[in-house]
Amino acid sequence: MNTLIQQPRSPEPVTTPDRNAKATRKFAYVGTGGRVKMFLDPVAESYRGEAEIVALCDLSLTRARFHNRRLQEKFGYHTVPVYHSSDFGKMLQETAPDEVVVCTIDREHDRYIIEALEAGCDVVTEKPMTIDAERCRRILDAVERTGRKVRVAFNYRWAPGATKVKEILASGVIGRIRQVTMEYFLNTSHGADYFRRWHANKSDSGGLLVHKSTHHFDLINWWIDSIPESVFARGGLCFYGYDNAVARGDSALTRYPRYFGHDTKGDPFAYTYGDSGVEDGAYEEGLYLQAEAETGYVRDQNVFRKGITIEDVMNVMVRYRSGTLLNYTLNAFSPQEGYRVTFSGDGGRIEYEEDHGAHLLDAEGRRVPVNEHAHGGPHQLRVFPHFRPSYSVPVSAGAGGHGGGDCLLQEQIFASHPPVDPFGRSAGHLQGTASILVGIAANRSIEQGGEVIIRDLVDLTPSALRLSELDTVLSETPAS
């Protein structure tokens, strides 16, 4: 297991920033790995008069300081106080944030969410909100006890294609939705990356059914406006891992524990810093390689090593309170990345497809540049009414991450007065719970066999039928 080494306390001295004369909402950040950039940069670039970064907190001071330097060099932002994760409480006391943004590894989310709530802060958390039922119940209890708010950053809802699907379904063109089928496939670049990193330990991530599929289950919950009721699942580790490579005759791919520092020529799964398609090499080296001695975390582990505890193929069946049935599959070693989803209703059928790109190599084994993480590729949305001709619906793609969806979500989080969203795309702790409980229940079904009733895990608002009945508190204007 890739163990993280706890370091002694070593907070940075508090530097008083230049305050904007206009009242701002103060944000502190815990967890400064690759994901935090989505939440840091908008404040430094676009929302200075409305939001302010008051602290960075991480297990690795190297990572936190890296972002501090990056913000200064790229945006001319002021020096931000940096704290070790063991001083999270001290950070809350000294910097008095209005909101805390949680971007740590998934198993730590509940700890920081609860402590921030109890300190009187609202919280923005990366998905998944947490990884198991016990942690989930603790978060729900803390929200009830403190009266503070938790927002789950489901950026997928804000992508133009996902929003257009929601709009078409809500129009009633195919009537009441009876059945949904979703096939999601991760390619051998992006999919493999989950098996290089901490995500490959189910105790850290909840496995892909929690860490990754929470996006997909949330989309389906939101699209059909219903709450999951029961789950049956099967899954396994069929491609990645030492035993699978040896069984296929690929023992040569297992000969090194990690990719950095080894001769990986001819290995299509070899990882070079900057290969993620998200950032350049210097960015990832600054966050991970330079922090290894401090934390012990290795970001580029061999995907065919021993000790991987998550699945790479998963099949899930879900029954909703509305009676709708879902059939969902996830494959993490597909040549092509993207998804297909179909909705069957009393009045017809809707099909939607996104292509996110392939993992391609040239004749010499070098990567063919493809931005497989972009969500602006070919999207196809078709409506098939009963007894009438089918037709296509155009789907636009905006600029920025997730086809422009990231910018819209950032506006909701950081703007003083964000625009009213007619599609109900903001998700609080209850909608975040509805999403993760599908994956948590699926994990239990895989482990124990049989159907899992979700209310036996967490009794989520038993009186509610529709997802939109949950988390209405997020529609209120944030306090300043």
pLDDT in tens, 374-403: 444 579 999 999 999 999 999 987 777 777
CA angle 388, 394, 396 (to 5 degrees): 160
Position 295 scores a pLDDT of 94
Instruction: Provide the token pair at 390.
Output: 């089918």
User: In angstroms, rounded to a whole number, what is the distance separating the alpha carbons of residues 187 and 371?
Assistant: 12
Place of tokens 């815990």: 30
Position 278 scores a pLDDT of 56
pLDDT of 90 higher than 90? yes
The arithmetic mean of pLDDT across residues 220-241, rounded, is 99
Residue 379 host element (H or E): strand 379-385
108: helix, strand or coil: helix
Residue 99: strand pairing partners: 27, 122
User: In angstroms, rounded to a whole number, what is the distance separating the alpha carbons of residues 234 and 229?
Assistant: 17
pLDDT of 237 higher than 80? yes
Residue ranges per structural domain of the chain: 156-239+308-399+429-462, 242-295
User: Going edge to edge, which strands form the sheet with 25-30?
Assistant: 82-84, 51-58, 25-30, 99-102, 122-125, 150-152, 427-428
Instruction: Provide the token pair at 172.
Output: 């009633």
Position 397 scores a pLDDT of 75
Domain 156-239+308-399+429-462 architecture: 2-Layer Sandwich (3.30)
Task: Give the count of beta carbons closer than 10 Å to the beta carbon of residue 306.
Answer: 10
